Structure 1
Amino acid sequence: MAITLMKEDRIKKVVGSIMNDYTNATGIACIYVDIKGKERSQKYNFTKFCQVMRSIPAFRSKCSQCDLVGGLETIKKQGCCPYRCHAGLVDFAVPIVHENQLHGFIVSGQMSSSDMRFLYIQDPTPWEEDSYALQYFKGVPQYRYEEIMSASRVLNTLTTCYFPFSDRMLNMAHEAAPIGEDKHPELARIRRPEIRKTVEYIKGHLNCNLSLRIIAEEVFLSESYLSKLFKQEMNMNLMQYINQCRVQEAEKVLRSSKSSVDAIGRQFGYHRTSYFCKIFKQFTGETPHAYRKKFDIR
């Protein structure tokens, strides 16, 4: 037991040093929490708003939940992924892994951002009804999307210098996901975590504008490096894969819906029906109309 406590103390000391350097360099708030979301360190550069929120019991429990869920989401997605907490501020978490054991997470952020790409990780709480909390919200610092993503990369790079996130830990995290939670079984067959994250992002955004630049930003890789890795792993280029996924989903809609071919094409990002039909035929050998006719849906 004494040995375990000594190891935990050493880990906390290193984590404290990381957070101190990170906060001094960036001015961004952070804290260390354990695998249950419980605070294990002092509050580094916390905003007045977040200090108040964590002093109110009803909100403090939600803060802990967001810290925990945000950390687990980082492990599941195998990369730092900023999110909105229950109060609407943007945070991100980096796992602390030592000797293939997860000890907790460094959670950073407390940033205000109007960018809609940051999604809520928990249901929003009505904190605006608390006048004490509301008066401090205006002092929360505003950040742009690019600044937040850069900050997350800095903390991730600094932390992994001391606590490498091992392949075994990645596999354990993937295997630990509840049965039925993984909507894309093919992810288990992809070796590189960067490409797993790329595929997961593509699958979840088939109706959005997808480009090499946008996806590279999401997975923290250069466009040329992502393109090279993707081709090596998937044996096709990125746009071919995106079209393949879109056609597969379009097939499902054509089999079960009476929506027009034009509407279905637009649903999956094709703004010209002729181009949608061309891509669909490349992958299936027939037009959407011919495909639908086999299922008697007109």
Structure 2
Amino acid sequence: MVQSIIQDYTNATSIACIFVDIQGKERSSKYNFTKFCHFMRSIPGFRNKCYQCDLCGGLETFRNRACCPYRCHAGLVDFSIPVVYENQLHGFIVSGQMVSDDMRIPNLQEPTPWQTDRQAFQYFRAVPQYRYEEIMSASRVLNTLTTCYFPYSQPSETLGYETPTIGGDPGDAGELTHITRPEIRKTVTFIKEHLSYNLSLRTIAEEVFLRQSYLSKLFKQEMNMNLMQYINQCRVREAEKILASSKESVDAIGRRLGYRRTSYFCKIFKQYTGETPHAYRKKCSL
């Protein structure tokens, strides 16, 4: 079944994929692997680092219940989907082998000095490059395929994404019912489902088919705040949840919620809550 999932996924996306066990060891063929990754895994020292990255990435996703793309020791972007069958974790479907310069994607392990190898450098230059939004879309596709056959044991344990939504809370559902204009209801839904994206008035206006000036005016009338204030408010609310329920670093949370600079994320968080992310986490732990 895992092989069938991987074949469908790689045929549809052409993105590299493999299944590894709970030790990070390969348990399937290498589907659509890049020449660079074939080369890296042919060298024992690098191969062991690849196994570590596959394992750590999978465990991080399983522990946080969130699909978080990460950079491997060689600098490529991967993501992992846990395979759970009969309440037991059997391994991870790992996909990626992409190049991305997006700062929201964290390093999982210390980089290895492969750049000194001319052959490796030549192969690396041929690795496909993807935008952050494309990487997130691919992770959602793979997760959907996987959970169709291997659903988690409890509905509340469904795997989330690095593009978090806030719509699951009763208060948020109530918020939507109090919005009178359908255009603003659609705007709010779009914002909450794309918090990690580079949200701007232009991109949101295009999504809801309104002129920027008109959307800005309508939104302020309906929500009593401007669009950016609302985006920051949603991101801070989501950050509070993550800080209270995980050990994810403040830097990673900031990137996960669309802030390229940690200092700016901390500034916005304190502006809305009156305390720093570190202070908020410490208060929650107490």
- Fold conserved (TM > 0.5)? yes
The answer for the alignment partner of 1:73 in structure 2 is: 60
What is the distance in 2 between the residues matched to 1:244 and 1:110?
Answer: 29
Q: How many residue pairs were aligned?
A: 201
Give 1:49-198 correspondences, 5 Å limit.
49-167=36-154, 170=157
Letter in structure 2 aligned against 1:15 = V
1:37 aligns with 2:24: yes
Give, in whole Å, the separation in 2 of the partners of 1:115 and 1:133: 22
Give the corresponding residue for 1:269.
268
- What amino acid is aligned across from residue 242 of structure 1 in structure 2? V
Amino acid at match of 1:216: E
Question: Which residue identity does 1:31 align to in structure 2?
Answer: I
Alignment partner, residue 6 of structure 2: 19
- Alpha-carbon distance, 1:134 to partner: 1.1
Contact 1:100 1:166 in 2 (8 A): yes
One-letter identity of the residue aligned with 2:76: L
- SS at structure 2 position matched to 1:239: helix
* Secondary structure, aligned partner of 2:67: coil
Please report how far the alpha carbon of residue 269 of structure 1 lies from its aligned counterpart in structure 2 after TM superposition: 2.1
Change beyond 3 A, Cα 1:74–1:194:
closer
* 1:217 counterpart = 2:194: yes
Q: Deviations over 1:75-119 (max 9, x none)?
A: 111021111111110000001110001100000000011111111
Report which structure shows greater RCO (CA 8 Å, sep ≥6).
2
Unaligned runs of 5+ in 2: 166-187, 198-203, 205-230, 244-262, 276-286
Which residue in 2 is equivalent to 1:227?
none
For 1:40, what is the secondary structure of its paired residue? Answer: coil
Correspondences of 1:249-268 after superposition (within 5 Å)? 267-268=266-267
Question: What residue ranges of structure 1 are gaps of 5+ in the alignment?
Answer: 1-13, 171-191, 200-210, 224-236, 250-263, 285-298
Q: Secondary structure at the match of 2:96?
A: strand
The Cα of 1:124 is off from its aligned counterpart by 0.9
| Aligned-residue offset at 1:266 | 9.0
8 Å CA contact retained: 1:100, 1:169: no
| Identity %, equivalent residues | 58
Taking structure 1 as reference, are residues 243 and 27 closer, same or farther at Cα in structure 2, changes over 3 Å only?
closer
> How far 1:216 moved relative to its partner?
3.1
Cα shift at 1:219: 7.9
Larger Rg: 1
